[in-house]
Structure 1
Amino acid sequence: MSAQAAPAPMTIGDVLGLLRPDFPDITISKIRFLEAEGLIEPQRSPAGYRKFCDADVERLRFILTSQRDHYLPLRVIRQQLEARDRGEPVPAPAPAAGPAASQGAAAGAVPAPRAEAAARRPRTLVAADGTAGETAAVRLTRRQLIDGAGIDEEMLARLEEYGLVRRTSGYYTGEDLTVARTAAALGAFGFEVRHLRAVKAAADRQVGLIDQVVAPQLRRRDPGAHERAAETAREIAALAIRLHATLVSAGLRDSLGP
């Protein structure tokens, strides 16, 4: 009996098509970056083209899920992959919360205690160099931001023009990366960067209100005053975001019907 034919190798475009439904932000540049970091090693054709197999796609899913759902730095993901390669058990990353969970949050449902605590902590993002830190502490070059967000120079220029992202001391932050990724995703629905000015203006107004509330705490001289003010600001911000999501959900229900 003849041996079963091996599956045909996939191109990087094929892999992008397989991953994009679960990871809308994935780009060819991102896959190339992960290869350059040694996290994946697709074979090459004699002409130099990448040839991916099912194992490569599964490995990419593990990496992307670890980044998206657990904010793990690349060095930790690399250690986990090396352990898997040695045959050691490594728990698979848990999938992100499904649509039902998102709908519950949009409807104003009170999160569970663990989720409440997580919402109060500064979120950690993974920089292109594999390090992790608070979003404001992540430092990205212009090229890293463009590749990480899957945008081009022209779009980044528009984001900077409208004040949605800004470079500080020659670098961008993890927050800038999130803004750029979100703007790119909205672009698929026809949103232009200029349409996002109203969102930026609303965010600035909320920041101003929160600053007024925590200003008395910041003026105190006792130890820990700044930390308490930051904690208060994060709690207020989380409540404001929940309120905004609920109002948008209610407005859509009124305009679109039940």
Structure 2
Amino acid sequence: MRVVPGLLAASLGILLTACQPAAAPPAAATAADLPPPVPEPATEAAAASETAYRCGDLDVQARFVGEDAATVTIGERRFALHAERVASGAKYSDGKGNSFWAKGSDDGLLSLKGEPDRECQAQQGIEGDGSAGKAAFRATGNEPGWLAVVDGDAPGLQVDVDYGERRFEVAAPTAGADGWAGKAADGTDIKLSFQRTTCQDSMSGESFEAKAMLTVGARQYHGCGNFGGR
């Protein structure tokens, strides 16, 4: 029997098509083919604040870093403390018998190894957020830590220097265009001056309204300040 050439060619084409393997599915994407993940934005450093306390017979400067750590300075002594879990307030300790327990915004308890506990009270007008509150002017600086507050309608000038190791008061300082000056009770010359320009704290990065310079005797301290309600 003769096979028509055209019919034979068609039959062969059908057979060849049926014998072809199925097309492979597209390869799954590998990790190398995927776009890189978008990095998470870096978190900002925990805000720091400072508060000066009077704990029994001691002047204490407490620097809080968020809710995780605190540094307590007492004269030449400095304690690096870490947060502990407590029922109320915020307690920080170094695991060596030294701790500071902040109870509310103004009260605290200082415990030093080998010494009796001391009740603490935050000094008026020197909250750690830098606000001058009702004071005329409040200035602070670092390394060594110092604080100066001008308060009252007939202003007085209170000064703590060297992490609270030394304290001076000028009952009625002379007010000038750029600050206040007078003598402390022991005769030490005290002058607090300001320059109305933006100032950034060298440790916390907080912005203030003015640059400040404190002169105690022959020594100068530099920092930042804010004006308050008076």
TM-score tier, shorter chain, comes to: under 0.3
More helix by share: 1
More strand by share: 2
- From the CA coordinates, give the structure whose radius of gyration is larger: 2
TM-score (norm 1): 0.22
Comparing both chains, which one has the higher relative contact order based on Cα–Cα distances under 8 Å and sequence gaps of 6 or more?
1
